[in-house]
Amino acid sequence: MSIWNEIYNNINNNINLVCLFIGSSMISYNEITDENNQQYPCFLNKINNKKIIILIDPHLETNLKIEEFFMLKGNPLITDKIIYSENKISVRVLHNNEIMVYALNEAIDYIKHIWVDKHELIDTPKIYTIINLCLNNKIKLILQDFTGNDTTYFYSKLFKKYNRNDLLNHINLDVTQFESGCRINLHKDLIKLDDKGNFIQEKFLELSKMNESNLYNNILNNRIDIFIYPICFYYSQIIQKIDFDLDKYQLYKIGLIATIYNIDYDEECLNHSYINQKLELLIDIILKDIIISKKIKEPLFEFIKSNIHERRLLYDTMKNLKVKIIVDE
């Protein structure tokens, strides 16, 4: 039986949480802290009972930091299995009364690279299987890529493959709620749960539903940036230039924000008329969402809409809608 089949078989009703941590090597860290512990982040303490931790990285350290962490906690991990490949450690399976750990010294190929036309994603079905098992068994899953990969395309595909509410309630798609990165400062409030135990993922909500969130400023500013470019820029250019070259990367970026606002959108479609129809719809919805969330009463919507093609005026107007983020010294 392959190690992946063993993992699938162990995702059952006795498990409360599965964590799939990609790029979770801590070989460059000498000391384990709450801020850098990518193998057992402090926010996991919010979910009690049995957990499965899957660590995937070809550079996992010989002595795993998660082993050191639980040794210091006085609850050491017991090694159940070590598998070697070409005289190197390939797989380790460990456990204690709190968690089961699968440490896989390998890469995982699940993200489509837009610069490669024909690229078979051999590992994507593995993630789909884990998601299916977690959704079917009402088990929480935290899917976190620590490598800095752009997960936009992958997440947009998940929203088309699964029920939106089920996905957001049970599958945490990015604890940062913002942009991917390999040096994330971890803290206990990176995951949020409602009173029913469902994940709260503001990154995928309308702005008007998160006014009181401490993430509002970051997400507002990010959406304004995307609104200006590529959405309004592409909309204007497609109208003005019949042969305007569509960048697949930007189409994928638009695809994720389309899923946020529950707009059916095919980022693989390179038809200019289709793209512009979707962009016009997004412009209306996002702009109204920004204005409602900021409780602006003046007729700003029509003013901005009438000046979509005036790049400098549009930029200056939207910039004034941003919230200045104050960084503590």
pLDDT confidence of residue 183? 65
- Give every residue of the chain whose pLDDT is below 70, as ranges: 1, 112-120, 178-183, 324-329
Contacts of 53 (CB under 8 A, 6+ apart): 19, 21, 39, 40, 66, 99, 100, 101, 102
pLDDT confidence of residue 327? 44
Sign of CA dihedral 30, 32, 36, 41: positive
Both tokens of 41, joined, read 């982040």
Sheet holding 88-95, edge to edge: 78-85, 88-95, 99-104, 51-56, 17-22, 140-145, 171-172
Both tokens of 162, joined, read 């699964």
pLDDT digits (tens, 9 = 90+) for 145-188: 998 887 877 888 898 899 999 999 999 998 887 655 556 789 89
Alpha-carbon gap, residue 322 to 221, rounded angstroms: 6
Q: Which of 138, 126, 152 is nearest to 249 (CA)?
A: 152
| Bridge-based pairing state of the strands 88-95 and 78-85 | antiparallel
User: Does the bond joining 230 to the residue before it have cis omega, within 30 degrees of 0?
Assistant: yes
pTM here? 0.88
Residue in the block written with tokens 């095919």:
266
pLDDT digits (tens, 9 = 90+) for 18-42: 999 999 999 999 999 999 999 999 9
List the chain domain ranges: 3-202, 209-319
Which ranges of the chain does DSSP label H, i.e. alpha helix?
3-10, 65-72, 124-136, 152-161, 164-170, 216-226, 233-240, 248-260, 272-293, 300-306, 311-319
The DSSP output letter for 112 is -
The percent of residues above 90 in pLDDT, for the chain, comes to 66
Task: Judge whether 197 and 241 are in contact, CB under 8 Å.
Answer: no
